[in-house]
Amino acid sequence: MDVGVSYKQQAIKGTYDAIVIGSGIGGLASAAILAKRGKKRVLVLERHYTAGGYTHSFTRRGYEWDVGVHYIGMVGPGQPLRHAYDYISDGRLEWARMPDVYDRVYLSDRSYDYVTGWRRFISKMKSYFPDEGAAVERYVATLRACNRAATPYWAERALPRTTSRLVGPALRLPFLRYARRTTANVMRDITKNRELTAVLTAQFGDYGLTPSQSSFGIHAAVAAHYLNGAYFPVGGAAAIARSIAPAIEERGGAIYVSAEVDRILVEGRRAVGVRMADGRELRAPIVISDAGAANTYRKLLAPEHVPSSTHEGLHAIGPSMSYLCLYIGLKHTDEELGLTGTNLWIYPDEDHDGNMARFAADPETPLPLVYVSFPSAKDPTFRERYPGRATVDVIVPARYEWFAKWEGTRWMKRGEAYDALKERFTKRILDVVYAKVPQLRGKIDVCELSTPITTHHFAGHPRGELYGLDHTPERFRQRFNTHTHLAGLFLTGQDLVSCGVSGAMLGGVLTAAAILGLRTFPAVMGGAP
C-alpha cells in the first residue's frame, strides 16, 4: 500500500493548521502527534514519489529493499521507545526481535559478537579480552552515565528560546562533559588496548565518523541503543510510514508526495507557509522543516531571513558521511543460505581512523568498512511476500567528490564512465562479502549499487550524506533547537537530536512538544495523559 497522494494528480484543498516539509520519520512523528493532540489539519509535503524518507522501501525485479532501516533498539515490550512508536502509529507498528547476536565484528580474520543484554555483553567482551575486564566494566559504566546526562540536554531543545537562555546552560553541561570529547579521547581513558578499542567502537558506521572525529555523545547513544536487544519492523521499513500515516489522515490531515517545496514564506519575522516548486503558495501558522538544517537554512529560506550566526554554525559542522549501498537479490531463501539476520561489520584491521583516512585520499586503497545487513532474514513477513527469495544490503563509505562530475545527469542514464565506476566498486564490495559469506557466491540474481549522487537525487541531501549534520563534538556545542529565529518555524528530524531512525523520531517528539507544550513529551514517551 502506497502512502500519500500525488501532488501532481490531486490538488490540495482547504487550509491547514500546520505544514510539514518532508516525510521522514521526524516529520511523520511530529505530524502524527500534532494531529492526535488537536491540530486536525496537518499537511505533509514530500518531494520524493514515496513517503518515509530513509524509512521507505523500493522494489525492483521482484525484490524489495529497505534503504535506511537496518535495526532499531529499545522497542521491545516495556522498553523506552516502544511507547512513542505505539503512540504515533496508534499501535499499528509491530516489531520482530533480531538474533541474540545482533552485530558481528570482523577485524581481518578475527570475529567478535555483540550479544543482547548489558551483563551478557560485558561477559562476552571479557571472554575475548580476559586481561581487560576492568576496562570493559568502565566502558559500559561510562556509556550509561553519558546517556543519563543526555536526557536534560535533549529536553532543553524543546524549551522556548527565552526559557532556554535562562536554564539551558545548566541542562546542557553534564552531557557536554562527554559530548565535547571525541570517542577516541574517552576510550584512551578507559583502555590502552587498541584491539579492544577497535571492537568497542566498531559500530561507528552507525553514525558515520571514526573514533578520533566523533563525539563520544553519539557513540554512547548508539552503543547503548542496542544493548537490550535489536528489532526490525514487521513488514519491512515501509511499514513505519504505512503505520503512521492513518494517525494523520484519519484526523483530517494529508500526505502529498511528488510535492517539492521551493521556499518557506516569511512575513516580518514569522513563517506563514510555503511556496511550491510550481509556484503555488500554501499557508499555515505553523511550518515544520524535516528537510535537514542545511537544506532549511541554505535552500528553503531566502538569505536575508537567515542570521549570519546560523551560517557560521552550519559551516563549522558540515555534512556527515556519504556512502555506497549495494542491493543484492537472491533466488534462495534465507534458510537455504544460512542467513540469520546478524549484521556484519567487516574491517581490514583495528586501525579505523587510518583506514578511513587512506580510503578518503585514494579510493583504490582497501575498503575500510563493509557493513552487511540481511533484511529479508529480519522480517518474518518477507518469506510470505516474496517466497523463495532473500535480500542483502551492503554499505560502504564514499566521498561525494568521486561522483560530483555526474551532478545534473539523469538517474539510470548517467553514462558509461559512471556505470564502469559503479561496476568496479561492486566487484570490490562483493569480494569482501564473499570472504565472510561465501555461500552467496554464484547465487546472486539482482545486484544494484547506489551512490551519493543517487542519495542526492532522491533524498535531497546536498552531499549525499547519510546522517545529516556530522556528529562531531562541535555539533553538540552548536544549538539547532526546535524553535528557530522565526516565529512559527520549527526544525525536526535527525539534525535536531541525533542520527538514525529513533534519533529522528525523537526529534519529531521534541518538535511537537515545543509547539503543543512540554506535557506532550511524557504523554508520548511515558503514557501520561
Tell me: the pLDDT tens digits for 330-345?
Answer: 999 999 999 999 999 9
Residue 279 falls within a domain, yes or no?
yes
In a domain, 396, yes or no: yes
Domain boundary, last residue among 442, 459, 476: 459
Question: Are 216 and 340 members of one domain?
Answer: yes
What is the structure's pLDDT at 144?
96
pLDDT at 1: 62
Strands (E), 334-488: 343-347, 370-373, 390-398, 444-450
Say if residue 445 is exposed, middle or buried (CB neighbours under 10 Å; 0-12, 13-18, 19+): middle
Q: Is 36 domain-assigned?
A: yes
* 54 pLDDT higher than 90: no
Q: Is the pLDDT of residue 528 over 70?
A: no
- Could you tell me if 42 and 57 lie in one domain? yes
Judgement on whether residues 29 and 106 belong to the same structural domain of the protein: no
Same domain? 48 vs 101: no
In this structure, the answer to whether residues 138 and 46 fall within a common structural domain is no
pLDDT at 11: 87
Query: What is the predicted pLDDT for the residue at 527?
Result: 56
Convert 74-110 to b/e letters by CB count within 10 Å (16 or more is b): bbbeeeebbbbbbbbbeebbbbebbbebbbbbbbeee
Q: How many residues does the chain have?
A: 529
Please, are residues 273 and 265 in contact by the beta-carbon 8 Å criterion?
yes
Residue 473 located in a structural domain = no
Asked whether residue 192 falls in the same domain as residue 141, the answer is: yes
pLDDT at 309 over 90: no
Q: Is 47's pLDDT higher than 80?
A: yes
Most confidently modeled range among 47-51, 60-64, 386-390, 500-504: 386-390
Cell reading at 263? 521556499
Split into its structural domains, the chain has a count of: 2
Among 420, 441, 459, where does a domain finish? 459
- One domain, residues 29 and 101: no
Q: Taking 60 as the threshold, does the pLDDT of residue 146 lie above it?
A: yes
Residue 457 has pLDDT above 90, yes or no: no
Within this chain, do residues 301 and 345 fall inside the same structural domain, yes or no? no
Does 480 fall in a domain? Answer: no
Compute CA distances 479 → 215, 266, 317, 484, whole Å: 15, 22, 11, 10
Domain CATH code at residue 14: 3.50.50.60
Residue 157 lies inside a defined structural domain of this protein: no
pLDDT-derived band at 282, boundaries 50, 70, 90: very high
Task: Please check whether residues 324 and 220 belong to one and the same domain.
Answer: yes
Whether 44 maps to a domain, the answer reads yes
Q: For residue 126, what pLDDT is reported?
A: 98
Maximum distance among all Cα pairs of the chain, rounded to whole angstroms: 68
The model carries a pTM of 0.95
For residue 124, what is the domain's CATH number? Answer: 3.90.660
* Per-residue confidence band for 211, with pLDDT thresholds at 50, 70 and 90: very high
Domain check: are 118 and 190 in the same one? yes
Task: Cite the beta strand spans of 451-492 per DSSP E.
Answer: 489-491
Whether 222 and 265 map to the same domain: the answer is: no
What is the domain extent for residue 454?
95-145+166-232+319-459
467 domain residue, yes or no: no
**Which residues, at least 6 apart from 328, have a Cβ–Cβ distance to it below 8 Å?**
391, 392, 393, 394, 440, 444, 446, 447
Three-state secondary structure call for residue 276: strand
- Over residues 486-496, the pLDDT tens digits come to 999 999 999 98
pLDDT at 68 over 90: no
Running DSSP on this structure, what letter comes out for residue 314?
Answer: H
For 412-444, write each residue's pLDDT tens digit. Answer: 788 899 999 999 999 999 999 999 999 999 999
Same domain, 327 and 413: yes
The C-alpha cell of 33 is what?
A: 502527534
User: Angle 203-93-454 (CA atoms, 0-180°, nearest 5)?
Assistant: 50
Report residue 310's pLDDT band, with 50, 70 and 90 as the boundaries.
Answer: confident
Among residues of the chain, what percentage have pLDDT more than 90? 79
pLDDT at 529: 47
- Averaged confidence pLDDT in the chain: 93
The predicted structure's pLDDT at residue 210: 97
Of 412, 443, 459, which marks where a domain is finished? 459
